[in-house]
Amino acid sequence: MKLWAGRTSGETDRRADDFNASIRVDAAMYRQDIAGSLAHASMLAKQGILSAAEAEQLCAGLSSILTDLDTGALSIDPGAEDIHMFVESVLTERVGEVGKKLHTARSRNDQVALDLRLYLREETQQIQKLLLELIDALREQAETNRDAIVPGYTHLQRAQPIVFAHQLLAYCMMFRRDYERLRDALRRMNVSPIGSCALAGTTYPIDREFEARALGFDGVCENSLDGVSDRDHCIELQAAYATVMMHLSRLAEELILWCSWEFRFVELDDAYTTGSSIMPQKKNPDVAELVRGKTGRVYGNLMGTLTMLKGLPLAYNKDMQEDKEAIFDSLETVRQCLAVFAPMIATMRTNKPAMYQAAGEGFINATDLADYLTKKGVPFRTAYQIVGQIVAKCMAEGCVLETLSLTEYQLFSPLFEEDLYREISLENCVNKRISYGGTGPHSIQHQMTVIDEFVQHEKNLY
């Protein structure tokens, strides 16, 4: 007979039992479930709802269950309805009738809401640590490549010269915001729903704040209906996970391009590539491709949870059991991707000569040539047109701006002088980018300092 039997016999069809059960998913939260029960038992004793002896029995029994599950001495029964019922059943077997008192002044509705918040808080903090490792790896590569000149692209067309460090630091900034999004989501989530009970609270004189503090929460849900019936913290976290994956996917796409023979900007370590079953020359960036592919999976989980919640009336509905499978899958996917991405970046080798050669083609210093005329008083639009004509001439004659003679330059404008060649050298094009946030050396140093200070500050919090 089910623990919830009473109004009904508790007997359900075996197929309905299997369909209704969530133990295969929520078993992952056994530590959180037991932690919540330990805090609940202590609160009940503090308030005189249970005796100190009863609470001691309950806590000893719960602790023994936790130890046995951790060591493997006890296995979770796959036939149990959910992790809450499993723990309560084993507890009652071990401590007797007093085990049935643990559920006083709570419901599975607020219990599962509590377990989920505890679990997501812990697991998301692990994601944050992995993000810091990735940011650190990117920052180290930026340090190594602060002098590597490479084409910057728009529309996948060569646009202007930058240093490769600038490109890598752009991703550092993106992942830093991802980290901060997760931190903000955790802050909003870190309030305790326990004490909301089924939906309306309880008639017992409980101390919700005591229980919340014991579990590391900043406060309690202010409305019991809200406490058990919303999963917006799941939505917010999944949106943040999806954004992490979007940034990983963009970087993965660039790695795939950079590894190709058409670019040859970087080479990934053999540990993060595979070969072909038929083409012996191949070195495929499979890890990066898988990360790119798994991004859609995390997007789908977000959309599935949004859709599940969109038409639910208050308060709890069984539909909400679908929240955990989606967000647990997203958590694990993001964790796996970050765990492999950071060392892949750390062991990546760059081909600076290939980068420089690519930067020397495609007229990516054309803007600097236009700026040269502008600084001599030519309106920018006029300078733009003149340089466009020069580029067209070079393309027709198979040369580049650096190799066009001064005599030919002066056919387009008498303002061109010998110093133009220094102005359009790739090194000078990079070094004179002095604006804040740009690709110039002082800006790159500042960006690396900002990232380094951020990583060190956050690591010190753990």
Catalytic annotation, residues: 155, 276
Question: How many Å apart are CA 37 and CA 65, to the nearest integer?
Answer: 12
**Cis check: omega of the bond before 315, within 30 degrees of 0:** yes
Question: How many Å apart are CA 421 and CA 432, to the nearest integer?
Answer: 14
Question: How many Å apart are CA 94 and CA 389, to the nearest integer?
Answer: 88
Question: Left, alpha or beta for 398 (phi > 0: left; psi -120 to 50: alpha)?
Answer: left
**Which DSSP state fits 313?**
P
Question: How many Å apart are CA 387 and CA 369, to the nearest integer?
Answer: 7
**Which DSSP state fits 312?**
P
The DSSP annotation for 5-48 comes to: -SSS-----HHHHHHH--HHHHGGGHHHHHHHHHHHHHHHHHTT
- How big is the chain by its Cα radius of gyration, in Å? 30
Question: How many Å apart are CA 393 and CA 167, to the nearest integer?
Answer: 31
Please check whether residue 358 is in contact with residue 263, taking contact to mean a CB–CB distance below 8 angstroms: yes
Distances in whole angstroms, Cα of residue 153 to Cα of each of 37, 119, 189, 363, 409: 56, 42, 40, 12, 26
Question: How many Å apart are CA 391 and CA 380, to the nearest integer?
Answer: 16
Tell me the CA end-to-end span of the chain in Å, nearest whole number: 46
Question: Left, alpha or beta for 140 (phi > 0: left; psi -120 to 50: alpha)?
Answer: alpha
Structure token pair of residue 142: 């930026």
Please check whether residue 62 is in contact with residue 86, taking contact to mean a CB–CB distance below 8 angstroms: no
